[in-house]
């Protein structure tokens, strides 16, 4: 199991980024795929038409999202925490993803950089 931590600069206000990560229609706009999401703790979510699934654990509006990502049978939960901080260029998104299965690590890191935050940054740059 591995952990991943990285900061991403997104050219939009933290409140906008929070909505882009928690509102299904906005998620669909920047991912191009069907999304199921609710900003209610205890609800399940699905991104990229089911490629990423898990459970929403906690929210702090405009500031923080905590989710459990499912990787099949696994002893320890894989937890994603995204903290949004104001930044002079918009938002600094602090990502921490814990307990990533070794065999999925490279794909997950590439997904965070390119598909997830890469797509979100491009969405706001256009």
Residues pairing with 52 in the sheet: 47
Mean pLDDT of 114-124: 95
Task: Give the sign of the dihedral formed by CA 65, CA 68, CA 70, CA 74.
Answer: positive
> Would you state the pLDDT for residue 36?
96
Residues pairing with 94 in the sheet: 7, 83
Residues of the chain above pLDDT 70, percent: 99
Mean pLDDT of 67-72: 90
Q: Is the pLDDT of residue 119 over 80?
A: yes
Q: Sheet holding 90-100: strands in order across?
A: 2-10, 90-100, 78-87, 64-69, 52-60, 44-47
């Amino acid at each position: 199991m591995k952990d991943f931590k990285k900061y991403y600069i997104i050219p939009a206000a933290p409140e906008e980024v929070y909505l882009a990560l928690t509102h299904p229609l906005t998620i669909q706009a920047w991912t191009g795929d069907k999304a199921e999401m609710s900003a209610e703790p205890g609800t399940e979510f699905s991104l990229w038409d089911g490629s990423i699934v898990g459970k929403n654990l906690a929210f702090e509006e405009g500031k923080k999202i905590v989710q459990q990502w499912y990787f099949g049978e696994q002893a320890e939960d894989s937890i994603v925490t995204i903290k949004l901080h104001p930044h002079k260029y918009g938002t600094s998104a602090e990502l921490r993803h814990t307990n990533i299965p070794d065999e999925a690590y490279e794909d997950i890191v590439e997904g965070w950089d390119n598909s997830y935050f890469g797509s979100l940054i491009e969405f706001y740059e256009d």
